[in-house]
Structure 1
Amino acid sequence: MIQETLITTVNAQGVSHIAPMGVLIEADQYVILPYKPNLTLNNILETHSAVINYTDDVRVFAGTLTGRRDWPLLVAENVKGFYLANTLAHTELTLTHVQDDAVRPKLFCNAVHSVNHKPFQGFNRAQHAVLEAAILLSRSGNLQWKQITSELETLRRLLEKTAGDREREAWAWLMGSFEQVRLSRAG
């Protein structure tokens, strides 16, 4: 099963980085699957640690993809790194081994510490729409513009039915970035 999460990492100097990323969970092993080149990949290889953050605030997913990376962090307890201050839960990981690949290596990690900070109340359809739009933006370089606009229209309808202020804000950030993609392709 792949879970859409936010990964926090640090480099050897302790500079933090936040990135949305799918994590494959196989038995008790966590497999992080970054595409190359990737700062998350570099940081994990340097420090052999990462933190998975589980949040229902979709603004963090949208924000990290649209240049808004200044989210409050707290120091991790058992690995070198941080976790999101407003996360529902976090799991601290240590790298056990790497299966290298020219495009998408697999980073195998073990959990060394997990904390549930507050209960998950479930996602509404707007939150789901923002998550899917964020994933679409992260892959927009490999997709035709017609496919992107078609998927965004479907997601927009879901958003309009159930969005709160957070989801509208995140959606606006993503739409601004999609407009930049459109303009770069037109020019």
Structure 2
Amino acid sequence: MKENCDRLIVEGLMVTTGADGRPHFAPMGPLVDRELRAFTLRPFCTSTTFANLQRTGTAVFHLIDDVELLARAAIGRIETPPAVVQIAGSVNYRLVDCCRWFELRVATAEVEPPRATFHCEVLQSGSVHDWFGFNRAKHAVVEAAILATRIGILPAADIRAEMARLAIPVQKTAGEQERRAWELLQTHINERLGS
């Protein structure tokens, strides 16, 4: 791997396997190298993702272009779980519908609450479908999903101001999927902030 400047955060969906053998879905933004060979995960120590990673030492990260799924995972409202298949020879599951997936194994772990740091290597990976392309509304929904997970951490006024700014590209460029995701997040944030 090159210098640290060649690393960046990529948003996607993490699937870990619970003690009951079922998949658990959570949004995550790991730090990655541009070749996507090394992943650094930083889940909160109170999260299910952390507990599953501690127990199994493995996970599957997905690059997706379905922002509604990402939004639902961020606020814990996945009524109908997405279709998954078990990876051959593994306890892990991958999404049937994603752009790319990466099965990860924890190489080293540092647990210092409130967050842990898991340095992971890629065991195997695959491509499923082409990435849709840039869309400002999709990016706005990703930012709103992150804001939804920061309620209680960031000041409410800052969250409201950022949501007002992000509403503009959603109004201008969203399709149906992005509008549904935006409305879901906006309702959740308003309920949690009491407005």
Query: TM-score per shorter chain, which class?
Result: over 0.9
| Structure 1 residue ranges without an equivalent (≥5) | none
C-alpha distance 99-66 of structure 1, shift in aligned 2 (>3 A): closer
Equivalences for residues 13-92 of structure 1 within 5 A:
13-26=20-33, 28-69=37-78, 70-92=81-103
TM-score (norm 1): 0.93
Q: Find out whether 1:2 has 2:9 as its counterpart.
A: yes
Matched with 1:135 is 146
1:97 aligns to what SS in structure 2?
strand
Structure 2: segments with no counterpart, 5+ residues: 1-7
In the TM superposition, what is the alpha-carbon distance from 1:29 to its structure 2 partner?
A: 2.0
Displacement over 4 Å in runs of 4+: none
Letter in 1 for 2:13: L
Q: 2:189 maps to what in 1?
A: 178
8 A contact 2:12–2:28 mirrored in 1 = yes
Q: Which one-letter code corresponds to 1:10 in the other structure?
A: T
Give 1:68 shift. 2.5
> Contact conserved, 2:16 with 2:49, CA < 8 A, in 1?
yes
Equivalent residue for 1:95?
Answer: 106
CA distance in 1, matches of 2:75, 2:112: 27
- Structure 1: distance between partners of 2:44 and 2:54: 14
Q: In structure 2, what residue type is equivalent to 1:19?
A: A
Structure-2 residue corresponding to 1:121: 132
Taking the aligned partners of 1:14 and 1:97, their CA distance within structure 2 comes to 23
| Displacement after TM superposition at 1:65 (Å) | 2.2
Cα distance, 1:66–1:149 mapped onto 2, change above 3 Å: same
- Rounded Cα–Cα distance in structure 1 between residues aligned with 2:11 and 2:186: 20
| Higher helix proportion | 1
Deviation at 1:44, TM superposition (A): 1.0
CA drift of 1:50 comes to 0.1
Q: What are the superposed Cα offsets for residues 69-103 of structure 1, whole Å, 9 maximum, x if unpaired?
A: 22221212353111122111100111122012121
Do the aligned partners of 2:45 and 2:51 also contact (CA within 8 Å) in 1? no
Query: Aligned partners of 2:89 and 2:170: how far apart in 1?
Result: 38
CA contact (8 A) 1:51 1:83 kept: yes
Residue from 165, 175, 178 that aligns with 1:167 = 178
CA distance in 2 between partners of 1:80 and 1:43 (Å): 11
Aligned length: 184
TM score, norm. by length of structure 2: 0.89
